[in-house]
Chain A
Amino acid sequence: DVKVTQSSRYLVKRTGEKVFLECVQDMDHENMFWYRQDPGLGLRLIYFSYDVKMKEKGDIPEGYSVSREKKERFSLILESASTNQTSMYLCASLNGDSLYGYTFGSGTRLTVV
């Protein structure tokens, strides 16, 4: 069964900490994405990557950075966590022709205190 695996289901971090969220996919997909999901706001795209070492900003990149050193791994970095980054973070991957839709990880619920 194909999978997108996010390293943590729940995280609690302190304000100002540097936070790493890891995502690994085993489908050899070119495209990977980080979204955050908040009540009433739906899904919002933070960053995406269409190839190794390539990255593009989404709608809300401020306060975040990403790293894609290997095709299967896409990391989201919160440079200095703040309370307004408390959210559900979802990683997704997509194959090149996107005919079969996105595959999502289980999500990481991050709380910044």
Chain B
Amino acid sequence: DAKTTQPTSMDCAEGRAANLPCNHSTISGNEYVYWYRQIHSQGPQYIIHGLKNNETNEMASLIITEDRKSSTLILPHATLRDTAVYYCIVLEAAGFQKLVFGTGTRLLVSP
């Protein structure tokens, strides 16, 4: 069972920031928060991950609350190509773990 909850869908205007929330209230101390996205008919793509500090890379920023029970993925300037389903999952740092994707958030970026 997925250990995260996300809104089913969100809309965003092109060029604006897209803020995608995720609740993971049962996260344990050694679990990281990972974000993936899946563009229609393609395989999932890794975006970013973090443990407790905020993280930024060339694709996005990840803000994790101090209690680590929720996080927000930020796409600072959304483009039409960012239209996808975004999945938030929790994984331990090392070793094999089966991926469990929830339903994710379907983000629609409009002109």
Chain A interface residues (CB < 8 Å from chain B): 4, 6, 31, 33, 35, 42-43, 45, 48, 50, 58-59, 88, 90-92, 94, 96-107, 109
Q: Would A98 and B96 count as touching, CB distance under 8 A? A: yes
Tell which of B36, B98, B100, B102 has the most Cβ of chain A within 10 Å. Answer: B98
A66 to B95, CA, bound (A): 21
Compute the total of residue contacts between A and B using a CB distance below 8 Å: 61
Q: Would A58 and B41 count as touching, CB distance under 8 A? A: no
A90 to B17, CA, bound (A): 30
Interface magnitude class on chain B = 20 to 34
Residues of B52-109 at the interface with A, using a CB-CB cut-off of 8 Å, are 91-103
Q: Would B100 and A43 count as touching, CB distance under 8 A? A: yes
Q: Would B46 and A106 count as touching, CB distance under 8 A? A: no
Closest chain-A Cβ to B80's Cβ sits at a distance in Å of 20
A48 to B45, CA, bound (A): 19
Which of B95, B96, B101 is A48 in contact with, Cβ under 8 Å?
A: B96
Which of B45, B93, B99 is A45 in contact with, Cβ under 8 Å?
A: B99
Q: Would A43 and B41 count as touching, CB distance under 8 A? A: no
Q: Does B29 contact A (CB under 8 A)?
A: no
